[in-house]
């Protein structure tokens, strides 16, 4: 990853983006056991009281935290171990080998590291791939543009069975993601399958993250503070802690202690809009350290490009009017991807730009 020799002075002086040593571990994000749902049936709307309790727990976690962890989730543990092993084997290669599948503006999937962008703020290297190959997205963030383009995966030659392992993992985590969407819908008082059609032509992507040991961890971040723009993020991480969540109740940064074999789930901006602000997408960031490397695999569960994101009609009434204007997910996503490769003349598009000011 290179040696830290110089940091942007504005970044170092900005307390909102700079790491802080004052981190609370007094209260962790909720840990929810999904076994009643996984073992009960494929229908989480059944009358089983244990399932109903899981729905209540998820509703409270989404409302109070925007984050929770799940155990007994149904994703085979052997597959989790296999996907992490595959990720580690890929990143262990020489840099010139990894850069043979580097991503670009034309090919948004693949490898990149901070040396490619000369950005020492985010201390990591990643490999991105999409769940549906090809994935169809708008050619431009311009809402009047009708053309579409196709994103395709780039698969490295090493390690062996890289593609097969990734595709197997996609199928299992997609099942979990849809089950979680069912539970979130029920927690909002909506039918279990309320949101399923939005993911028919999903724009979901998956990322292998590698955070090497950093010689100046007090001045760098693995990932700066941000909110996820999509619907749901399903995160697998190793035993090395690094993720921090901004607690809604007091704004304190909370270190997330990894639970063995758990997935960390967080509500994205799309669910915040669908729920009309009942559930909030919460800021989070990733810290690095000088001694241990860290690996994580987020699964960014995103709707189809043609989805119009707006508050759910069933939740809207005179007492609870819509808090967001509708927007097209595809244009939003394309705008976000473009900012990875070029400096645009406008602020990076955020969900709050669509908030209705009362």
Q: Which two tokens stand for residue 91?
A: 């990143």
**Burial class of residue 201 in the structure, from the number of CB atoms within 10 Å of its CB (0-12 exposed, 13-18 middle, 19+ buried):** middle
69-108 per-position pLDDT tens digit: 999 999 999 999 999 999 999 999 999 999 999 998 778 9
Q: 6-10, 80-84, 189-193, 345-349: lowest mean pLDDT where?
A: 6-10
Q: Is the pLDDT of residue 304 over 80?
A: yes
Q: Give the range among 244-248, 264-268, 335-339 with minimum mean pLDDT.
A: 335-339
Q: Which residues contact 10 (CB under 8 A, 6 or more apart)?
A: none
Mean pLDDT of 202-227: 88
| 41 band by pLDDT with thresholds 50, 70 and 90 | low
The two tokens of residue 343 are 């400096």
Packed helices 162-187 and 49-64: angle between N→C axes, nearest 10 degrees? 90
Contact 181, 231 (CB under 8 A): yes
Question: Tokens at residue 96, please?
Answer: 């010139």
Angle between helices 162-187 and 77-91 (to 10 degrees): 130
Q: CA angle, 217 as apex, 216 and 218 as ends, to 5°?
A: 90
Q: Domains of the chain by range and CATH?
A: 9-135+151-303 (2.60.120.330)
Q: Which two structure tokens, joined as six digits, stand for 86?
A: 């595959």
Q: For residue 351, which phi and psi values (nearest 5 degrees)?
A: -65, -30
pLDDT in tens, 64-74: 999 999 999 99
Q: What is the distance between the alpha carbons of residues 183 and 27, in angstroms, rounded to a whole number?
A: 24
pLDDT in tens, 151-170: 999 999 999 999 999 999 99
């Amino acid at each position: 990853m290179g040696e830290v020799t110089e940091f942007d002075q504005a970044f170092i002086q900005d307390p909102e983006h700079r790491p802080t040593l004052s981190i609370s571990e007094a209260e962790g994000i909720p840990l929810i056991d999904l076994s009643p749902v996984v073992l009960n049936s494929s229908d989480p709307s059944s009358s089983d009281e244990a399932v109903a309790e899981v729905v209540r727990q998820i509703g409270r976690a989404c409302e109070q935290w925007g984050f929770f962890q799940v155990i007994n989730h149904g994703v085979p543990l052997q597959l989790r171990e296999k996907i992490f092993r595959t990720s580690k084997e890929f990143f262990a290669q020489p840099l010139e080998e990894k850069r043979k599948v580097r991503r670009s503006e034309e090919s948004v999937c693949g490898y990149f590291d901070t040396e490619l962008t000369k950005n020492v703020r985010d201390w990591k290297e990643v490999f991105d791939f999409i769940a549906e190959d090809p994935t169809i997205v708008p050619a431009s963030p311009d809402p009047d543009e009708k053309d579409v383009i196709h994103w395709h995966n780039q698969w490295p030659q090493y390690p062996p069975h890289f593609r097969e392992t990734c595709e197997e993992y996609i199928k299992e985590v997609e099942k979990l993601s849809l089950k979680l969407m069912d539970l979130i819908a029920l927690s909002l008082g909506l039918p279990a399958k309320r949101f399923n059609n939005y993911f028919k032509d999903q724009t979901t992507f998956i990322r292998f993250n590698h955070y090497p040991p950093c010689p100046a961890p007090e001045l760098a971040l693995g990932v700066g503070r941000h909110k996820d723009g999509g619907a749901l993020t399903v995160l697998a991480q190793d035993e090395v802690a690094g993720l921090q969540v901004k607690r809604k109740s007091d704004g304190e940064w909370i270190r997330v202690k990894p639970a063995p074999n758990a997935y960390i789930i967080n509500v994205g901006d799309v669910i915040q809009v669908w729920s009309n602000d009942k559930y909030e997408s919460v800021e989070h960031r990733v810290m690095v350290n000088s001694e241990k490397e860290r690996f994580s695999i987020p699964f960014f569960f995103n709707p189809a490009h043609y989805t119009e994101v707006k508050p759910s009609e069933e939740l809207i009434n005179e007492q609870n009017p819509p808090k967001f204007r509708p927007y097209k997910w595809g244009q939003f996503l394309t705008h976000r991807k473009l900012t990875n490769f070029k400096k645009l003349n406008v602020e990076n598009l955020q969900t709050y730009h669509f908030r209705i000011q009362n």
